[in-house]
Amino acid sequence: MSAPSVLYDAPGPRAKRRNLLYTVLFVVAFAALMWWVIGAMDEKGQLDWAKWEPYLAGTEAWTTYLLPGLVNTLKGAGLAILIALPIGALFGIARMSDHWWIARPAGMIVEFFRAVPVLVMMFFANAAYAEFTDIDSDVRPLYAVVTGLVIYNSSVLAEVVRAGILSLPKGQSEAALAVGMRKGQLMTNVLLPQAVTAMLPAIVSQIVVIVKDTTIGGALLGFDELLAQARPAASFYQANTIATLVVIAVVFIVLNYLLTSFANWLERRLRRGKKSTGAVVGGDMVEEQAPGMHLTDESTGHRMN
């Protein structure tokens, strides 16, 4: 069912009137909600121009609070994806090993860390760095956040890599084995390069998840990222809490929307491509996957494309 219009007929005169009625009712309900929100904000003075001015008409708030925060967000997320990718690839390949004593432990580690909330791993990393290393307490939150993100996301990416390799047509490995390649050569020369291309949309979608998860470190570990700027900025600019939160949310929405659109564009392009095998691991796979639910299982075929 591709077009939603299959769910209803082209509206006749009665349906047109009814749709108009629904439109009016919906707009009235929405306007009432907005009226309440604006009223509540106005009552607390949150709509005053002075509260929004620092963000809309000045650069100081951006250069003092938001941009340094955004840089830290990107730094944390960038480090996390760069470190998690090779580890994830390693575990994904290990899980597909022919030797059970490699495949089983790798599978158990991946399943375990996918089941544990990323915040738990961040708390653990933070305390472990404080206890066992002499990392300066200024940068410890960054280390802890990146470590927590790496532990969780490398196990997610391991599954993405596995799905990417499994999405390739069987003829690829058969042909490679037929020309006399070893298993290692098959993986590094034939399967991985194609799988990486197929995985790109899923990897970009995972970056969105990582960007969102850096805020956990900001709220709970004192990592100086974008969301952590909310309190200092709001207290400096006369309690413009709502304005600050809205601006921060908008920055995240724009950033993540661009990344998601990029992932969708990649996915469409790969599907259309004539040079490749047409194998794609879609972006929607990553956000919905969970432990115990196998991505490559036929019965849950939605995420594997």
Instruction: Give 108's Cβ-side CA count (13 Å radius).
Output: 5
User: According to the binding rule CB under 8 A, does residue 249 interact with other proteins?
Assistant: yes
d(CA 188, CA 89): 11
Q: What is the per-residue binding string for other proteins in 91-120, x denoting contact by CB under 8 A?
A: --------------------xx--xxxxxx
The letter for the amino acid at 204 is: V
Size of the site for other proteins (CB under 8 A): 72
> Considering the complex, what minimum distance in angstroms separates the CB of residue 14 from other proteins?
10
Between 88 and 148, whose beta carbon lies closer to other proteins? 148
d(CA 144, CA 76): 10
User: According to the binding rule CB under 8 A, does residue 242 interact with other proteins?
Assistant: yes
User: According to the binding rule CB under 8 A, does residue 19 interact with other proteins?
Assistant: yes
> Under rule CB under 8 A, which residues in 141-170 are in contact with other proteins?
none
The C-alpha angle 5, 265, 69, rounded to 5 degrees, equals 115
> Under rule CB under 8 A, which residues in 20-59 are in contact with other proteins?
22-23, 26-27, 30, 40-41, 44, 46
Pick from 67, 87, 181, 220 the residue near other proteins by CB under 8 A.
220
Helix ranges (DSSP H) in the chain? 13-43, 49-56, 60-61, 67-95, 100-115, 118-132, 140-166, 170-178, 183-185, 192-220, 230-236, 241-272, 284-288
Between 221 and 270, whose beta carbon lies closer to other proteins? 221
Asked if 153 and 207 count as a contact pair (C-beta separation under 8 A), the reply is no
User: According to the binding rule CB under 8 A, does residue 17 interact with other proteins?
Assistant: no
